[in-house]
A and B are shown apart, each in its own frame.
Chain A
Amino acid sequence: QSVVTQASSASGNPGQTVTISCLGTSSNIGTTNFVYWYQQFPGAAPKLLLYRNSLRPSGVPDRFSGSKSGTSASLVISGLRSDDEADYYCAVWDDRLNAVVFGGGTRLTV
């Protein structure tokens, strides 16, 4: 059972917008700690998708955006493409556990 929860699956049609959410607690997302988002394709290592809640590393399209409010964080993917099909994970430092905690992951189907 993850400390930070995500829906196990999400789906959308090409061109649509999908939101993937992470629900945390007052010791992780509910603090000033930043949320990070990762994209993982089968058989590959995760790739950093968003850092510090909403910033995109070089090379990540602006179709990917993020936000944080209270004890939840969201990843929004607009203009869905078939190659967005992947697993998406959020990660955040937990002040009570003194550990990085990952959400359980959301499998996106396009």
Chain B
Amino acid sequence: QVQLQESGPGLVKPSETLSLTCSVSGSSITASYFTWIRQPAGKGLEWIGRIFDGNIDYNPSLQSRVTMSLDTTENRFSLRLMSVTAADTAVYYCARDSPLGEGNFQHWGPGTLVTVSS
């Protein structure tokens, strides 16, 4: 059974860097695309980016501020979003996509709320 769990600070100051980790069990992070998605309160879903075996794609609207990486030793992957503002306040989800990376998110973490505030 594939399970994902997000972890990281729930509060980040403006202009600082948001860092989250997604721990994966039941699936190797080298076997498929893994993705970050976020959702501001009361709003829709926004795809942040995906990573698979060295291939990384980011949402063009966030590309200048975002970095994703894999930790194959711990079977987890990470998100860093720099220079955050209040607009980055959201629930952040990690999810597993298919090896084709086409938006087939069958497995999701429960999500973690990140608030950007001083």
With an 8 Å Cβ cutoff, the count of chain B residues facing the other chain is: 22
With an 8 Å Cβ cutoff, the count of chain A residues facing the other chain is: 26
* A99 cross-chain contacts in B, Cβ below 8 A: 47, 57-60
B74 to chain A, nearest CB (A): 22
A19 to chain B, nearest CB (A): 19
- Asked if B8 is at the interface (CB within 8 A of a chain A CB), the reply is no
Tell me whether A101 and B47 are in contact (CB under 8 A).
Answer: yes
Contact pattern, B 84-110, Cβ under 8 Å of A = 1, otherwise 0: 000000000100010001111110111
Tell me whether A46 and B105 are in contact (CB under 8 A).
Answer: yes
- Asked if A98 is at the interface (CB within 8 A of a chain B CB), the reply is yes
- Classify the secondary structure of B's interface with A: loop
Tell me whether B47 and A100 are in contact (CB under 8 A).
Answer: yes
Contact of A100 among B35, B109, B111 (CB under 8 A): B35
Contact of A97 among B50, B60, B97, B101 (CB under 8 A): B60
What is the bound-complex CA distance between A48 and B59, given in angstroms?
Answer: 21
* A66 cross-chain contacts in B, Cβ below 8 A: none
* Closest residue on chain A to residue B49 by CB atoms: A99
* A36 cross-chain contacts in B, Cβ below 8 A: 102-105
B51 to chain A, nearest CB (A): 13
* B11 cross-chain contacts in A, Cβ below 8 A: none
Tell me whether A93 and B103 are in contact (CB under 8 A).
Answer: yes
Contact of A105 among B45, B93, B104, B111 (CB under 8 A): B45
What is the bound-complex CA distance between A92 and B35, given in angstroms?
Answer: 14
Contact pattern, A 1-39, Cβ under 8 Å of B = 1, otherwise 0: 010000000000000000000000000000001101010
What 5 pairs across the A-B complex have the smallest Cβ distances?
A45-B108, A100-B47, A91-B103, A105-B44, A102-B45
Using CB atoms and an 8 Å cutoff, list the residues of chain A in contact with chain B.
2, 33-34, 36, 38, 44-48, 51-52, 57, 89, 91-93, 97-105
Q: Can you identify 20 A-B contacts, CB atoms within 8 angstroms? A: A2-B44, A34-B102, A44-B110, A45-B93, A45-B109, A45-B111, A48-B106, A57-B106, A89-B44, A89-B45, A91-B45, A91-B47, A92-B103, A93-B102, A99-B57, A100-B35, A100-B102, A100-B103, A102-B46, A103-B44
